[in-house]
Structure 1
Amino acid sequence: MEKTGRSERAAPHALFWQQLLPELRHDGATLQSQLRAAIVGAILNGALRSGVRLPSSRELAAMLKVARNTVVLTLEQLVFDGYLVAKPRSGYFVAAREDAAPRFEAPAAERAGQDAPDWPSRLLDTALAGKWLHKTPDWQRYRYTFVYGQFDPKFFPVAEWRECSRLALSVGQIHGWASDAVEQDDEVLVEQLIRRVLPRRGIAAKPAQILLTVGAQQALFLLAEALIARGMAVGFEEPGYMDARNIFLRRQARIVPAELDEQGMRPDARLAECQYLYCTPSHQCPSGVTMATARRLELLQMAERHDRVIIEDDYDAETQYQGQPLPALKAIDRNDRVIYVGSMSKIISPGLRIGYIVADEQLIAALRSLRRLMIRHPSSNNQRTLALFVAQGHYDKLIVRTRQTLAERAQRLSDALVEHWPAIEFRRPGGGSVVWARLPEGIDGRGLAAAALAEDVLIENGDPFFYRDDQDGRFIRFGFSSIEIERIEPGIRILARLAKGLGGH
């Protein structure tokens, strides 16, 4: 009976710790870091108070089903950091914390009273203008993910990025990036852009002609803030990149849609009235068309003749897998008519968020001052890690690997469409990571996208890319950067079946 009593008294103690400690995962974070975070979190939120004794390292290891050394190393580090106290032959105890932050009871959530501001009336119309493409935040839970702008985690260069992160955290490197740079960019990254990245696009530049940004998106926002005034005419591809269009609309620009053909943006007479032209020559967004050399020269001649400026968004430039990539429009510009916007995030990871602008020194200086008012500069440690990633040759290696992967998926997707859905109209891509397709008559892309969700398939309808009418919603975009190659054909088979049920062929 006595033995049973001890067991019963011990059970609540064990249950408390089993509920407090997480089930350790084996998906990237080390077991030590997970255990440390759980114990520190419990101390800081008050679940473990000063003087509480922890179970022995043997007991914790048994509860967590990990090696005892993992637990011992974690506890010893927490002692060193002042969270725990080790007492000989007694164990580990939660240390007294004199620097504990004050805790206040949060007020109950209630609806705002009658005196609260009327926020909808305060919002400017320009803050909500334009069409938007809905991005499914939990896209990874779907089996067939034909979405653009995401990547396959299996292809992220984990070992190489980790190596460069460690290098960036060495004492010598930290001295170079840890201080507040105010409005300056990482000199090492700018040098790598000039020596290794821009020459691939045929562009020569000096440091004073380059500004780093938080992705291409911020680059476009800065340009609009600095250059676009109310009522100013901006030539824009139709269909085109809706986020860029919305940025210009926020400045109350007048959008002048320019039709596309197989050579890219058509420079018709209406564009002559536009102070700025926005285009994506490498792989047009969303169609994927590469602008022909003759068309590029025609646009430059128009800009020179009418004193206009071209904003070149070098969209998916590094992913050409059929033929040789054409040099950037900026590379053949001899009169500084082209503002070049690039991104490092498309190849490495969308979450990296590092882009850049190449333009006239006076414009870059003005943009640098404007950027200072927003964020000062992009994260310095990410800049230095990326600089080392390029310098070590990992970026070039990743480009080759990405091209090969995208080429295989583009081939599989194109073949699947031809075999299972012959009524759909599309062009086989020679680069990039999308297929832009026109649906058979009678099928609405929005309806098809909604029906596909129920079948675990994600596609993007084409409506938000059009400034004007989207021709009865008959366009969809297939992204293939994130979908595993063996899932492409089954996904297309499902879409073809759904389209037939909706009245297509």
Structure 2
Amino acid sequence: MNRSYDADLPLWARLFRLPEQPGLPIQVRLRAVITQAILDGRLPAGAALPSSRDLAQALSLSRNTVTAAYEQLVEEGFLEARPRRGVFVAANACAPRADVEAALEEDPFRSGRAGSGQRPPEWRRRVLRSQAERPTLAKPEDWHRYPYQFIYGTYDPELFPTDDFRECCLRSLGRVQLPNWTPDFEQVDVQELVAQIRQRLLPQRGVYALADEILVTIGSQHACYLLAEALFDRHTRVGFEEPGHPHARNSFSVRGPQMVNLPVDDEGLVVDGMPEVDYVFVTPSHQSPTTRTLSLERRQWLLRKAELHDFVVIEDDYEAENLYAGTPMPALKSLDTSGRVIYIGSLSKSLSPALRLGYIVAPRELIAELRVLRHAQVRHPSAFLQHAYALFLSLGHHGSHARRVNQIMQERLMRVSAALTQHLPDFRFTLPQGGASVWVEGPDWLDSGELADVARAHGVLIEAGRAFYDQPPYPCPSFRLRLSSISGAQIEDGIRALALAVGALAAARGVSRTGAPFMH
């Protein structure tokens, strides 16, 4: 390639600026930016690229890195190499944008533009089951910029077993393992994972199931959605904890059942006085969000009532592995003798919620129906991820990771307890026996939704209590502090900043932190 590109080197440096993604090799990032420039039309078909030497100089990269990127893009059809002339964008790398625009102009039905003489669909009227207004747990898009993240759903590098999980992924990518997960699985699951769930996880909860009584899901929320699709309609009465798990409530609500709010207290779900229902959803291990554990007496009474009144219990064994004190309470499913309990478990929650892997244990007749329904929705969860996680379980990594998480979470609970006692002494909380969060009740004047807004200005993210209620009170003084995303070293500073937010909100309301009006 001639040297006429020397003057244009700053242009190439701007066009191919590599993104800050330390987890990706430089060559992969370079291929990505070149490909994106081609697909965006910034590099049209036939456009000449600088030589590998010139581009390496412009981007301060190794020439071998640029050469390898070019060779890969030639192989993939984005670039073409012309002997003694250089590297050019391939003729068929992407559709010409002018042709696409012309086609849209000629076909107003495809363009959907208001100026085409055709009215676009009224989507607000057409959407029949909108979830947009339902309360849910949501973090701001720029959540990573906040120093104190007392929220669920973020990555904690201190906890993630990077080396162990990478080993399992690499083993699954070995040539000898490819036949075990690359074929289309249709309706079945990876046998190795089902075996590990049966033999390693469920017995720890006192649950014993056959292979055809287990279905792998894309997380516990997907399990709730599958059950709602199969079992609920607008006539179905579903008992649900109040406050309760918002994601499960929203998944159930898609099918429009009659949601019946059931109170909770210090022993979990209140079983006495329960109205007539068809299903009851319960989080007995660590009630979401209050973290209370359903007592053995109530577990037995709930199952007895299910038989007497012919309803089914849906048990989400939420954070059952995270136990720091006391004796593990048996899962409801382990006490079930009549097949009235549907059990939901999560495989990925303690690692990273982004992995999305869970399972349902239920009578085989129901599992067979759910299997067909899952196939219609998503075919099946990632077979690669199932296989990798089966290895993660079989090599003992899951157990050692759970023990490590428990030790770290217990330390964080002690830290948050000390910080709350020191900086927010008028706030009430009870340390749970397990789990990864603390349910906090502020003074009666406080609304946690308003506090969450003010706390952001102090760098603190919390989970306002109203998201957990079907019918939230106002003011709603309760909120949840999640400990799976914030390091132990940041907890005290985070609670101190939260106390400053409480003070600012109290001043704006004209009250002291305890709720007494200011004296003038």
TM-score of the two chains, using structure 2 as the length reference: 0.88
Q: C-alpha separation between the residues in 2 aligned to 1:289 and 1:114? A: 57
Q: C-alpha separation between the residues in 2 aligned to 1:50 and 1:128? A: 42
SS in 2 for 1:257: strand
Q: Aligned match of 1:151 in 155, 162, 166?
A: 155
Q: C-alpha separation between the residues in 2 aligned to 1:347 and 1:400? A: 11
Q: Aligned match of 1:293 in 258, 273, 296?
A: 296
SS in 2 for 1:194: helix
SS in 2 for 1:378: coil
Give the corresponding residue for 2:267: 263
Could you give the per-residue CA deviations for residues 443-500 of structure 1, whole angstroms, max 9, x where no partner exists? 1111111111111111111012122342521111111111122221111112222223
Q: Aligned match of 1:449 in 452, 472, 493?
A: 452
Q: Aligned match of 1:93 in 87, 92, 96?
A: 87
SS in 2 for 1:155: coil
Give the corresponding residue for 2:375: 372
Give the corresponding residue for 1:174: 178
1:419 aligns with 2:400: no
- Note if contact 1:129-1:250 (Cα within 8 Å) is conserved in structure 2: no
User: Residue 138 of structure 1: CA displacement?
Assistant: 2.3
User: Which residues in structure 2 correspond to 1:95-494 (within 5 Å)?
Assistant: 96-98=90-92, 100-103=94-97, 104-105=100-101, 111=114, 115-124=119-128, 127=131, 130-271=134-275, 273-470=276-473, 472-494=475-497
Q: C-alpha separation between the residues in 1 aligned to 2:169 and 2:224? A: 28
Could you give the per-residue CA deviations for residues 319-371 of structure 1, whole angstroms, max 9, x where no partner exists? 11223332211112122111001111211211111111000000111111111
Could you give the per-residue CA deviations for residues 91-137 of structure 1, whole angstroms, max 9, x where no partner exists? 74226445654541276995576733322223326655743333323
1:55 aligns with 2:71: no
Given the superposition, is the C-alpha separation of residues 134 and 78 from structure 1 closer, same or farther in structure 2, using an over 3 Å criterion? closer
- Note if contact 2:447-2:474 (Cα within 8 Å) is conserved in structure 1: no
Q: C-alpha separation between the residues in 1 aligned to 2:46 and 2:227? A: 58
| Runs (5+) with no aligned partner, structure 1 | 1-5
Given the superposition, is the C-alpha separation of residues 461 and 111 from structure 1 closer, same or farther in structure 2, using an over 3 Å criterion? farther
Give the corresponding residue for 2:517: none
Q: C-alpha separation between the residues in 2 aligned to 1:191 and 1:224? A: 26
- Note if contact 2:46-2:88 (Cα within 8 Å) is conserved in structure 1: yes
**Percent same amino acid among aligned pairs?**
42
Could you give the per-residue CA deviations for residues 174-218 of structure 1, whole angstroms, max 9, x where no partner exists? 222222222111112111111222122221111100111111111
- Note if contact 2:18-2:29 (Cα within 8 Å) is conserved in structure 1: no
SS in 2 for 1:323: coil
Counterpart amino acid of residue 169 in structure 1:
L
Give the corresponding residue for 1:30: 25
Counterpart amino acid of residue 368 in structure 1:
R
Counterpart amino acid of residue 452 in structure 2:
A
Q: C-alpha separation between the residues in 2 aligned to 1:26 and 1:213? A: 30
SS in 1 for 2:350: helix
Q: C-alpha separation between the residues in 2 aligned to 1:230 and 1:82? A: 52
Given the superposition, is the C-alpha separation of residues 369 and 76 from structure 1 closer, same or farther in structure 2, using an over 3 Å criterion? closer
| Runs (5+) with no aligned partner, structure 2 | 106-110, 515-520
Aligned residues: 497
Note the aligned Cα RMSD (angstroms).
2.6
User: Residue 391 of structure 1: CA displacement?
Assistant: 1.8
Given the superposition, is the C-alpha separation of residues 32 and 276 from structure 1 closer, same or farther in structure 2, using an over 3 Å criterion? same
SS in 1 for 2:438: strand
User: Residue 142 of structure 1: CA displacement?
Assistant: 0.8
Given the superposition, is the C-alpha separation of residues 102 and 194 from structure 1 closer, same or farther in structure 2, using an over 3 Å criterion? farther
Given the superposition, is the C-alpha separation of residues 31 and 418 from structure 1 closer, same or farther in structure 2, using an over 3 Å criterion? same
Counterpart amino acid of residue 241 in structure 2:
E
SS in 2 for 1:346: coil
SS in 2 for 1:256: strand
- Note if contact 1:79-1:86 (Cα within 8 Å) is conserved in structure 2: yes
Given the superposition, is the C-alpha separation of residues 132 and 111 from structure 1 closer, same or farther in structure 2, using an over 3 Å criterion? farther
SS in 2 for 1:347: coil
